[in-house]
Each structure stands twice: as C-alpha cells, then as structure tokens.
Chains A and B, each alone.
Chain A
Amino acid sequence: MIARGLLFVWIAVWMVLGFVWAPVVPVLGDTTRVLYFHIPAAWVTVLALAWSMIQSVLYLAKRRMEHDDHAAAAAELGILFCIVATISGSLWAKAMWGSYWNWDPRETSIFFLLLIYAAYLALRSAVDGEERRARLSAIYSAAAFVAVPFLMFIVPRIYDSLHPSPILPSPREKGSMDPRIRTVFLAMLVGFTALFWWLLSLRTRFARVERRRLDAAAAGA
C-alpha cells in the first residue's frame, strides 16, 4: 500500500522534473522529453516479453499453473507497454523525421513484438481447457523466442537505421548526455519497471484467486 503510493509519487515527481528541471537537447528540442516515456516503455516491452517467455519455458519444464499465470499476465502488460512505446515513438518520428511510419528497422522490430504479443493472446483465447491452453501457448511462446534475437538485434545491425542509439544509450553517447537528463531518464526507467512488477503481481494474484474460486465451485458442485 505504502509502496504503491510511493511509486505513484516517484513517477509523478520525476515526470514534472523532466519538464521543469532537465534541459532539452539542441537538435531534438522539446521532443527530448519523449525519452522519459518512450525508452522506459520500450524497455518494459522487452522485459515483459522475456519474462513471459521464461515463464513459458518454466511451465513446460515444471507444469505449475503459476508459471502460466505469469506468462499470460506479462504478455497482457507487454502489449500495453508496447502500444505506448509504438505510439510515442511514432509521434516522435512525425516530429523529427516528418512521417509517422516508414519501416525503419526499429519500427519493424517494435511492430514485430506487437505481432508476437497479439498472436500469443489470440492463440490463448482460441484454446479450450486450462492445461492445454497453458501448454500450447507456452510452446508458441518458446518458438517465438527464437525469432526475437533475429529481428531485435541482427536485422537492425545489417540494415541502416535512423533511430538514435539502439535500445539504451551506448557508453559513447552516455558521456555526452546531460547528467540531469540522465538522472530523470534512469529514474523513469526504475519507475516504469516497478510499475510493471506491481501490475504483474496484481494480475497474477487475481488469477490465483480466480482459480481457487473455480476450484471451490467445482468441488461444491
């Protein structure tokens, strides 16, 4: 309860500081501030996908429904953060590159993540039976895991991208980043990650209660 309140205050305070305290980068101008939302959201997207896939593999190995709860919850939250990252990036692209969408390698990879999430959730909704749903979606998740490194890391490195610094600022660019911008950025990164973990724990606890209720109803009937 207190932790949740602190999290909200933390994010709100750093959001305000991002506008009033941190300076803007000369070329980027006011669009600098997308940094505080876009990169943390993109980071959480990747984190959620990795978490979902790890939990899927754990489910296949151990067959405990908690792993499936985590995989499903992380995917649901992942698609949410993925949409935030896509829209904020697209708005920024319109401001800086003059077009909302032009299949830059980074845009391709975020769209690809969105596709994986959507397909995973569509697959879940199309399978009858709790155990079979968990198993089949875990298999799909593990298979999609193979494709992720190819699009996230290989394709953008082979083909040129206009996108500034891949995923996280490289050490070279970090040196040139204003310390105040870096502070706000890292604080927002922490805030977004904590927000994800809090929502994830809410979602998985809810799934646990729901399963207990269904089990009790089945036992009573």
Chain B
Amino acid sequence: MARSASSSAAAVWAILRKECRSEWRTRYGLNAALLFAITSLAGVSFAVGPLGDRTDILSGMLWVVLLFAALASLSHAFVREIEGHTLTLLRLVATPTAIGLGKLLFNLIFLAVIEAVTVPLFLLLMGGPPPKWGRFALVLILGSVALAAACTLVSAIIAQTRGRGALFAGASLPLLLPVLAAAVKGTRAQWQGGTVGAEASILIAYAAAVFGVSLLLYDHLWED
C-alpha cells in the first residue's frame, strides 16, 4: 500500500514535470493565456475606467477577469493530449488518477503565473485602494485552488467531446458559480475592512469536495 502510494506520488510528479517541460518548450499555451487575460483586463479597464473606491465593483471585475482567463486556458492541458494524439501513450504509463492530479497541479501553477501578472496590473489599472494583503492573498489562493480543481475535472470531460472550447466555458460555469460568489464576497469584505472567515471556509470546503469527487471520478474518464 505504502509502495503504491509512493509510486503514484512519483507518477504525479512525473506528469507534472512532463507538463511543465512540454509547456515550456513552446509556451504557446501560456503566451495565449497571458495575452487573453491582459486583453480582457484592458477591455474591462477601458470600458469602465478607474473605479477608485468602488470596491464592490472592483472585486466583481477582478474575479470576472480571472474567471475569463481560467476558462480560456485551463482546458489546454487535456485538449493538448487529444489534439496531439498522445493520450493513449500517457494512459499506458500512468493511472487516470495520477494523470488527473498531475494536470491539476500543472493548472494551479499555470493559474498562479497568470495571476502574478494579471492581479498587480488589475490593481494598477483600476486604481483601487490598497488591499489588506494577507486576507486578499488568502481569498485569491483559495479561490484559485477551487477554480483549478473544478476546471481540471471539467476539461478532462470536455476534451473528449465535439466543440470543446465553447462547451468548456458553458459546462464549467455551473461548477464555478459557488467559487465566484464566495471569492467576490471575500474580496469585497477585505477591501471594506471585514473578515473573510466565512468565505474562506466555503472555498476550502468546496475545493475539498470537488477534489474528493475528482479522485473518485478520474478512474471512469477513459475506458474506450
């Protein structure tokens, strides 16, 4: 049991390294996603202008931009395998759960890179008051984990369908609405000097629930 656990941890690590390496080789996924995130940020910023102390709108806009960036890019990890016809080989060398977990970790790193560029730029362009960094980062991190967990599972499903891109956004949104609601409320609360405990616990519970269900469901993903 211990041996299988350690070998699957090694498999997850190997998948993650493989993902990072093949992404770094071309970087087209990352470049496209960054460009998309900055474009949607510029679109939002241009459309509404600097918002100053309208923190209620700011927190909504921030998560809309992050949601768009996630919906545009997080299906990439699975779709790339289908389009490159490499999934069969991958399935030969690793269990579905290891593949799913490896891709989830990769998506988390991917999202973190996008946010590292987008969030500072957002704060700069939209002219909001400085956030309470600790609480802001807490909501941001937990929201991203929940976002990545839900998106990775849905992307594994939609990679095997027709019309993947459009379907990914549509099929992910129902799973992302609880994340969006809690993350927006939490971001708003920290700006207005409130606590974020309730929102943080919703996000943790949700991420844990999606993650747990993912572990059960990855086994059923590929059988043909």
Q: Which residues of A contact B (CB under 8 A)?
A: 60, 108, 112, 115-116, 118-119, 122-123, 126-129, 131-132, 135-136, 138-140, 142-147, 150-151, 154-155, 158-159
| B171 proximal to A (CB < 8 A) | yes
A142 in contact with B161 given A122-B170, A151-B178 (CB within 8 Å): no
Pairwise interchain contact B170-A116, C-beta atoms closer than 8 A: no
Residues on A with beta carbons closer than 8 Å to the beta carbon of B119: none
Pairwise interchain contact B213-A155, C-beta atoms closer than 8 A: no
| B220 proximal to A (CB < 8 A) | yes
Pairwise interchain contact B224-A119, C-beta atoms closer than 8 A: no
Q: Which of B12-20, B63-71, B79-87, B151-159 contacts A (4 or more CB under 8 A)?
A: B151-159
Pairwise interchain contact A151-B157, C-beta atoms closer than 8 A: no
* Residue of chain B at shortest CB distance from A116: B174
The contact size tier of chain B is 20 to 34
Which of B161, B173, B205, B206 is most buried by chain A, counting CB atoms within 10 A of its CB? B161
Taking a contact as CB atoms closer than 8 A, the residue among A115, A136, A142, A155 that contacts B173 in the complex is: A115
Pairwise interchain contact A146-B209, C-beta atoms closer than 8 A: yes
Docked pose: A119 CA to B175 CA in angstroms: 10
Residues of chain B from 138 to 169 with CB closer than 8 A to chain A in the complex: 150, 153-154, 157-158, 160-163, 167
| B177 proximal to A (CB < 8 A) | yes
Taking a contact as CB atoms closer than 8 A, the residue among B167, B210, B213, B223 that contacts A126 in the complex is: B167
Taking a contact as CB atoms closer than 8 A, the residue among B154, B178, B221 that contacts A150 in the complex is: B178
Pairwise interchain contact B170-A119, C-beta atoms closer than 8 A: yes
Q: What does the 1/0 interface line of B192-224 toward A look like (CB < 8 Å)?
A: 000000100010011001100110110011011
Cβ of A119 to closest chain B Cβ, rounded Å: 4
Chain B contact residues: helix, strand, loop or mixed: helix
Residues on B with beta carbons closer than 8 Å to the beta carbon of A146: 175, 206, 209-210, 213
Cβ of A131 to closest chain B Cβ, rounded Å: 7
| B181 proximal to A (CB < 8 A) | yes
Residues on A with beta carbons closer than 8 Å to the beta carbon of B216: 142
A112 in contact with B177 given A119-B170, A122-B170 (CB within 8 Å): yes
Pairwise interchain contact B224-A123, C-beta atoms closer than 8 A: no
Docked pose: A151 CA to B182 CA in angstroms: 10
* Residue of chain A at shortest CB distance from B167: A126
Identify 8 new A-B residue pairs, CB closer than 8 A, beyond the known A142-B216, A158-B202: A60-B220, A112-B177, A118-B170, A123-B158, A126-B161, A143-B153, A146-B175, A147-B174
* Residue of chain B at shortest CB distance from A123: B171
Docked pose: A216 CA to B13 CA in angstroms: 49
Pairwise interchain contact A132-B160, C-beta atoms closer than 8 A: yes
Residues on A with beta carbons closer than 8 Å to the beta carbon of B167: 122-123, 126
Taking a contact as CB atoms closer than 8 A, the residue among B175, B178, B185 that contacts A143 in the complex is: B175
A123 in contact with B161 given A132-B224, A146-B210 (CB within 8 Å): yes
A140 in contact with B177 given A123-B161, A146-B209 (CB within 8 Å): no
Taking a contact as CB atoms closer than 8 A, the residue among B163, B171, B202 that contacts A154 in the complex is: B202
For this complex, 19 residue pairs linking A to B, each with C-beta atoms less than 8 Å apart, are: A112-B177, A115-B174, A115-B177, A119-B173, A122-B167, A123-B171, A129-B224, A132-B160, A135-B220, A138-B220, A142-B216, A143-B210, A145-B213, A146-B206, A146-B210, A147-B174, A147-B177, A147-B206, A159-B185
Residues on B with beta carbons closer than 8 Å to the beta carbon of A127: 160-162
Residues on A with beta carbons closer than 8 Å to the beta carbon of B153: 143
Residues on B with beta carbons closer than 8 Å to the beta carbon of A144: 174-175
A135 in contact with B223 given A126-B161, A143-B210, A150-B202 (CB within 8 Å): yes
Residues on A with beta carbons closer than 8 Å to the beta carbon of B205: 150
Pairwise interchain contact A143-B162, C-beta atoms closer than 8 A: no
Pairwise interchain contact B163-A126, C-beta atoms closer than 8 A: yes
Docked pose: A146 CA to B162 CA in angstroms: 25
Taking a contact as CB atoms closer than 8 A, the residue among A118, A123, A139, A145 that contacts B220 in the complex is: A139
* Residue of chain A at shortest CB distance from B199: A158
Docked pose: A69 CA to B162 CA in angstroms: 21
Pairwise interchain contact B177-A131, C-beta atoms closer than 8 A: no
Which of A119, A151, A155, A159 is most buried by chain B, counting CB atoms within 10 A of its CB? A119
Pairwise interchain contact B161-A136, C-beta atoms closer than 8 A: yes
* Residue of chain A at shortest CB distance from B181: A155
